Structure 1
Amino acid sequence: MNRRDFITLLGGAAAAWPAAVTAQAPGHLWKIGVLANEPWPPLEGLRDGLRDLGYVEGKTHLFVYRFAQGNAERFPALASELVSLPVDLIVAWGTPASLAAHRATDTIPIVMSAGDPIGAGIVTGLARPGRNVTGCRCKWPNRRASDWSCSSAAQFFARRRPV
């Protein structure tokens, strides 16, 4: 997946966020857990999308970062840490981070990007990923474009209206 596709994914999640949170009590500070190897530029797309929708970081939401810093063995502990905080959403970048998030929770929504989410056991299928996980399959230069639409992130959050 290229940077533009991932920013579109995060922007779609940001656009769908209001539909998912409108039923919540005012004043709730949403915690967005970020699980990745290291900080990456596409996160700015999510920040920008939330800001464009009127959300103010620190007042309406905050980001909670957990980075493995080159040690993939740390992902399970970092994912468990995010779950125990708890966060309201996990954004996982890369297959190891996505797999760790998937294994850590079946209730917290996860937006992920992974090279082969089916092969890694993160999702059961691209058209209907199931459970609490959605996102995009990474597109590598020598592979065909993913059949999994990045708009699935927006659809996922639109369906998750709290009661």
Structure 2
Amino acid sequence: MEKAFEAATEQKVDAILPLSDPIALGNAARIGALSLRYKIPLVSPFREITDAGGLLSYGPDLSMLFRRSASLVDQILKGAKPGDLPIGRPGHFELGANLQTAQALNVTIPFSIVSRATYVRQ
């Protein structure tokens, strides 16, 4: 991961948007720390990455998705046919802002974003 941040610095990228996959989520602390060390803003679909040093996040509420998944598994274990269950989409998205990171990166997050954020890390 460090080589990716080094390359991003050399190429003078404006920000990094990591893939929305379990690897990124599982490495939230490392990705957040690299973002701060290399002074590259990080925008992610995962709140966890914003909590770990990312600048902004916008994505589905993972705890709600996990509860929905558990409900579907429960229905299948009780005999429901998977093909008969409705396919759903995330119904709730979270917008997050990390003001500590903004200050460290010398970036201003507009009030219009902060005021709409589902959560703000001070």
Q: TM-score scaled by structure 2? A: 0.36
More strand by share: 1
Higher RCO (C-alpha 8 Å, min separation 6): 1
Would you tell me which structure has more helix in proportion to its own residues? Answer: 2
Rg comparison, structure with higher value: 2
